[in-house]
Amino acid sequence: MQGQIGQEQVGMRAAEAGIKVGSFGKGTSFRKRQARHLTILALPAVLLLFLFQYVPMGGIVLAFKNYRYDLGLWGSKWVGLDNFKFFFTSADAWRVTINTVSLNFMFIVAGTAGSVFFAILLHEINWKRLKQFYQTTMFFPYFLSWPVIALIVYALLNVDLGIVNKALEAFGFEPVFWYSEPEVWPYILLAVHFWKYVGHGAIIYYAGIMSFDRSFYEAAAVDGATTWQMRLYVTVPMLFPLVIILFLINMGNIFHAEFGLFYMVTQDSGVLYSTTDVIDTYVYRSLRVIGDIGMASAVGLYQAVVGFVLILSVNLLIRKYSAENALF
Amino acid sequence: MTETQRRGTAWLNHIPLLILSFICIAPIALMISISLSSAESITAFGYSFFPHALDGKAYAYVLSASERIVRAYGVSLFVTLLGTCLSLLVVSMIAYPLSRRDYMHRGKLMFYVVFTMLFNGGLVPTYIFVSKYLHLKDTVWALILPYLAAPWFIAMLRTYFAQLSHEVIEAATVDGCSEFRILFTLVIPMSKPALATVGLLTVLRYWNDWFLGLLYIDDTHLYTLQLLLYVMMANIQELLKTAADTGILEIADFPSESARMAMALIVAGPMLLVFPFFQKYFVKGLTDGAVKG
């Protein structure tokens, strides 16, 4: 339909410009030629996506094979569901699933609440210079890589030299061996994740608030609304759709953990696995350290399929809630 | 409540924001301080926000151009520059057809792109295919190719291209311009803000990446800066090995703690330099692309 209209317009413009319409009067052949050129343009990306995304999708058969490097993908023997059985009957399955979901859920809830809070405060700041200063500094951690962040965390938590233990000692407490205390790590990871992403989130919500119709605020001010009334009855309700959508998108990704956070910041310390091992670190270890390729693929497939189902459900929810914001 | 009363409590907003700002930048101050501290003062007092005894040895070591660090810098720079240029090219080339409402394969092609955001083969099949069948292991291409056609950036640019004036493009078609020429002489020059946003995000992605290196690079000659930093953090011996290469420092008085921090600052440095440019485009770029996808 759209295409037809576009074609008609081209014809009309051509007529206006005094060009012979006959040369591409037969719309279909022109459209086909044009489509071929556009397809050629898209080709490099199509090929790259094919190689790095679609071909590996075929590789999920590995989950049902006992993969041996020398025999390759086709030569290796089929083992049915053995890889899955092995994984799901181990204690690991439960542990990594619970860790992934519960930690991610914590990150999402705290991150959303924190970002909205700071976005609202930022929005109410009138001093332009200071506002820019806040924006810049809170965005800052987003630009640091995980290896750098891991080193920063190490500088804080190192047993002998770290800032935190020095502070504890100064107040007369015993130093803590942070890297061998699994119970505290969910909170450390939460803090690090919050630190890295809260400013980024706040600026997204801030941009959302900036796009609101100013007249609501003016009307509220005329009616004598207090700051808190403005927040509760103007800003928050208007921000709600954006919050819900971003929240749902994050929920759709709850099965995928931020590998750098869990692998680098924890220094991949085995002592901490009970609270920090997530699906992504588990798959990586099975692949690169233990070399159990069959099981690593099975766990990867489990993650991909559950993740896919989650994203589809989330999209369904968004479509129900506000159709124009649905992802597809 | 009146305007003046509201202003009366407005200063309260600054408190949480100031605390957040402080927390966000304090670690960098800490890193700078540690990198400038002498080895003896670190042993005696631990890390601290203010150096007890200033010492430039860490920088002397890092800047003495240890061969590995210089190489890693080169690899990171090469990967980031080439990766970003190629990525922008490839991404705009597919984003343009996707933005054309009159392109007959638009729907199918969009599905082809979006589906990769929803489902993937996972780490293992990708790893095996790339290393065993594409033979990219221990090549610089393993650090570049997997990120070239980024679906998210394709979607962002497509949205932007679709907002451009259709009349101009149609007029160019009528004038007999090829699609190739329309893209490169019309669409791309008209889309500088969007290309800058996506370009800087791509720079960030390539420069900060260590995952591809961790997976596909065993050859130390191809280590990126991030990977080298990680290896040095995980294994202090690596740091000493690098120090021994330089030959200018005795291993005994090697300032390993401060050298690591100096190294981290050098790794993060370039991103902190381009940071102000990001800042300018980000608020707009993020909301245009990320939310409306």
pLDDT in tens, A48-94: 999 999 999 998 999 999 888 788 888 888 998 999 998 999 889 99
Placement of tokens 């809260």 in the chain: A198
Specify which residues A77 forms β-bridges with: A66
C-alpha closest to that of B288 among B152, B177, B178: B152
- Residues 6 or more apart in contact with residue A72 via CB below 8 angstroms: B132
Are the CB atoms for B158 and B194 separated by under 8 Å?
no
What is the least distance, in Å, from the CA of B226 to any CA of chain A?
6
Write out residues in chain B with pLDDT < 70, as ranges. Answer: 1-8, 65, 236-254, 280-293
Please indicate if any CB of chain A lies within 8 Å of the CB of B23: yes
Work out the angle at residue A170's Cα, subtended by the Cα atoms of residues A167 and A175, and round it to the nearest 5 degrees.
Answer: 65
Instruction: Give, in order, the Cα–Cα distances in Å from B211 to each of A53, B194, B216.
Output: 17, 27, 9
- What was the pLDDT predicted at B286? 57
Q: Return the amino acid letter for A169.
A: E
> Could you say which residues from 182 to 241 on chain B have a Cβ atom under 8 Å away from some Cβ of chain A?
183, 204, 207-211, 215, 226-227, 229-230, 233-234
Q: Which of B10, B30, B174 sits opposite A14 (nearest CB)?
A: B174
What is the least distance, in Å, from the CA of B152 to any CA of chain A?
12
- What was the pLDDT predicted at B51? 83
Please indicate if any CB of chain A lies within 8 Å of the CB of B51: no
- What was the pLDDT predicted at B285? 59
Q: Which of B30, B123, B208 sits opposite A300 (nearest CB)?
A: B123
Q: What is the mean pLDDT of residues A176-187?
A: 94
Chain B residue numbers with beta carbons less than 8 Å from the beta carbon of A59 are: 121, 124-126, 128-129
- What was the pLDDT predicted at B61? 78
- What was the pLDDT predicted at B287? 52
Tokens of residue B170, six digits: 């149609």
Work out the angle at residue B211's Cα, subtended by the Cα atoms of residues A45 and B234, and round it to the nearest 5 degrees.
Answer: 170
Q: What confidence category does residue A14 fall into, taking pLDDT thresholds of 50, 70 and 90?
A: very low
Query: Mapping DSSP to helix (H, G, I), strand (E, B) and coil, where does residue B54 land?
Result: strand
Which comes out higher in pLDDT, residue A302 or A16? A302
CB contact under 8 A, A134 and B25: no
Which secondary structure element, helix H or strand E, spans residue B51, and what is its range? none
Cα within 13 Å of Cα(A308), Cβ side = 15
CB contact under 8 A, A6 and B166: yes
CA-nearest residue to B35 within chain A is A155
Q: What confidence category does residue A11 fall into, taking pLDDT thresholds of 50, 70 and 90?
A: very low
DSSP A224: T
Q: Which of B48, B179, B211 sits opposite A37 (nearest CB)?
A: B179
Q: Which of A1, A32, A52 to mutate to test the interface with B (most CBs of B within 10 A)?
A: A52
Placement of tokens 């070239």 in the chain: B148
Chain A residue numbers with beta carbons less than 8 Å from the beta carbon of B99 are: none
What is the least distance, in Å, from the CA of A207 to any CA of chain B?
6
CB contact under 8 A, B268 and A227: no
C-alpha closest to that of B150 among B202, B203, B211: B202
How far does CA A223 lie from the centroid of its chain?
A: 41
CA-nearest residue to B94 within chain A is A42
Q: What is the mean pLDDT of residues A190-197?
A: 97
Which comes out higher in pLDDT, residue A296 or B250? A296
C-alpha closest to that of B11 among A221, A227, A237: A227
Q: What confidence category does residue A115 fall into, taking pLDDT thresholds of 50, 70 and 90?
A: very high
Chain B residue numbers with beta carbons less than 8 Å from the beta carbon of A313 are: none
Give the integer Cα–Cα distance in Å for A99 and A96: 5
CB contact under 8 A, B119 and A57: yes
Query: Mapping DSSP to helix (H, G, I), strand (E, B) and coil, where does residue A267 land?
Result: coil
Give the integer Cα–Cα distance in Å for A252 and A219: 38
Q: Which of B48, B103, B121 sits opposite A35 (nearest CB)?
A: B103
Please indicate if any CB of chain A lies within 8 Å of the CB of B163: no
Give the integer Cα–Cα distance in Å for B50 and B41: 11
Please indicate if any CB of chain A lies within 8 Å of the CB of B164: no
CB contact under 8 A, A283 and B204: no
- ipTM of the prediction: 0.89
Placement of tokens 């610089």 in the chain: B140
**A220 phi/psi in degrees, rounded to 5:** -65, -40
Residue B165, classified by CB atoms within 10 Å of its CB into exposed (0-12), middle (13-18) or buried (19+), is: exposed
CB contact under 8 A, B291 and A206: no
Are the CB atoms for A140 and A133 separated by under 8 Å?
no
Are the CB atoms for A253 and A247 separated by under 8 Å?
no
CA-nearest residue to A144 within chain B is B268
CA-nearest residue to B50 within chain A is A163
Are the CB atoms for A257 and A280 separated by under 8 Å?
yes
- Residues 6 or more apart in contact with residue A228 via CB below 8 angstroms: none
Please indicate if any CB of chain A lies within 8 Å of the CB of B114: yes
CB contact under 8 A, A7 and B279: no
Which secondary structure element, helix H or strand E, spans residue A190, and what is its range? helix A185-210
Residue A120 pLDDT > 80 = yes
Cα within 13 Å of Cα(B224), Cβ side = 30
Are the CB atoms for B46 and A168 separated by under 8 Å?
no
Q: What is the mean pLDDT of residues A317-321?
A: 84
Please indicate if any CB of chain A lies within 8 Å of the CB of B270: no
Which secondary structure element, helix H or strand E, spans residue B84, and what is its range? helix B67-99
Chain B residue numbers with beta carbons less than 8 Å from the beta carbon of A3 are: 101-104
Torsion on CA atoms B76, B212, B87, A41, rounded to nearest 10: 150
- Residue ranges with strand state E in chain A: 65-66, 77-78
Q: Which of B9, B36, B99, B123 to mutate to test the interface with A (most CBs of A within 10 A)?
A: B123
Residue A252, classified by CB atoms within 10 Å of its CB into exposed (0-12), middle (13-18) or buried (19+), is: buried
Are the CB atoms for A35 and A7 separated by under 8 Å?
no
What is the least distance, in Å, from the CA of A104 to any CA of chain B?
18
Q: Return the amino acid letter for A78.
A: W
Residue A254 pLDDT > 70 = yes
Residue A117 pLDDT > 70 = yes
CB contact under 8 A, A38 and B97: yes
Q: Which of B120, B132, B279 sits opposite A57 (nearest CB)?
A: B120
C-alpha closest to that of B203 among B71, B83, B75: B83
**B2 phi/psi in degrees, rounded to 5:** -85, 170
Q: Which of A20, A54, A125, A145 to mutate to test the interface with B (most CBs of B within 10 A)?
A: A145
DSSP string, A12-75: HHHHHTT--GGGG-SHHHHHHHHHHHHHHHHHHHHHHHIIIIIHHHHGGGGGGEE--TTTHHHH
**A208 phi/psi in degrees, rounded to 5:** -60, -45
- Residues 6 or more apart in contact with residue B173 via CB below 8 angstroms: A10, A34, B182
Query: Mapping DSSP to helix (H, G, I), strand (E, B) and coil, where does residue A85 land?
Result: helix
CB contact under 8 A, B24 and A141: yes
Torsion on CA atoms B100, B101, B104, B109, rounded to nearest 10: 60
DSSP A78: E
CA-nearest residue to B268 within chain A is A144
Specify which residues A66 forms β-bridges with: A77
- What was the pLDDT predicted at A15? 43
- Residues 6 or more apart in contact with residue A76 via CB below 8 angstroms: A62, A65, A66, A67, A68
- What was the pLDDT predicted at A286? 92
Which comes out higher in pLDDT, residue A19 or B74? B74
CB contact under 8 A, B229 and A151: yes
Longest dimension (CA), chain B: 77
B126-145 per-residue burial string, b: 16 or more CB within 10 A, e: under 16:
bbbbbeeebebbeebbbbbb
**A65 phi/psi in degrees, rounded to 5:** -125, 160
- What was the pLDDT predicted at B238? 67
The pairing of beta strand A65-66 with beta strand A77-78:
antiparallel
CB contact under 8 A, A297 and B124: yes
